[in-house]
Amino acid sequence: MEQDLEDNVLPLRAPDSFLPAGLAQTHFQDCYQCGKCTAGCPVAARMDLTPNQLIRLLQLDDSGTALRSSAIWECVSCQTCSARCPKSVDCAGVMDMLRESSLSLGEAATSQHAVIAFQKAFLDNIRRNGRLAELELIGLYKADVAWNTGRIGVLFKDAALAPQLNKRKKLHLLPGKAKDRGVVDRIFARCSEPEKK
């Protein structure tokens, strides 16, 4: 009897070697599938896999399915899952690590191109300017989505907002940039080096 029980217990394995080492710090192995993360998630209904399912995949060493999910890009990083988890699993931290790995391994869901293009354009923008230049971000993001998905309509979406923003003095053609942009570029370079093993 004791032996049977032992056989049914999920072995605690180390996570897949291509997942970041920091994943262990999220305590995802402690999840016992109560589903509280998914119950409180404001976007769970839009996800192909729910937060608790993603964690289960990691426990079962099937991180590939998690990395290819669209769910990790639907996540709005509201932190409700992590705040409520009775086992202190940092589910929002798991989402961050899945996104980072999904991109670096080239596994990101193509259906989520817009969200990924936006975040990429955002980071490129602050690397160049030190601070966000909103109009430049919007222009480059829209061009990327139109070019890569063929959704030309995106170029004109919200165009009617521009004069309204301008009327409210919320558009800045010449945004303030950080003076020391060299250091920003060097910080980006240092943070992009592969981890030393």
In the complex, which residues of this chain contact another protein (CB under 8 A)? 20, 22, 42-43, 46, 74, 76-80, 82-83, 90, 92, 96-97, 99-100, 103, 114-115, 117-120, 122-123, 126, 130-132, 134, 138, 141, 158, 161, 164-165, 168-172, 175-176, 178-180, 183-184, 186-188, 190-192
Pick 8 or 168: Cβ nearer another protein = 168
Pick 60 or 158: Cβ nearer another protein = 158
Distances (CA, A) of 144 to 103, 131, 136, 149, 153: 17, 21, 12, 8, 12
> Comparing C-alpha atoms, which of 35, 84, 40 is closest to residue 55?
35
Pick 152 or 183: Cβ nearer another protein = 183
Cβ at position 194, least distance to another protein in Å:
11
Cβ at position 52, least distance to another protein in Å:
18
Distance of alpha carbon 140 from alpha carbon 132, whole angstroms: 13
> Comparing C-alpha atoms, which of 78, 79, 100, 76 is closest to residue 89?
79
Cβ at position 119, least distance to another protein in Å:
4
Cβ at position 60, least distance to another protein in Å:
24
Pick 60 or 172: Cβ nearer another protein = 172
Spatial CB neighbours of 11, under 8 Å, sequence gap ≥ 6:
none
Cβ at position 116, least distance to another protein in Å:
8
Distances (CA, A) of 181 to 35, 93, 124, 160, 195: 45, 29, 12, 33, 24
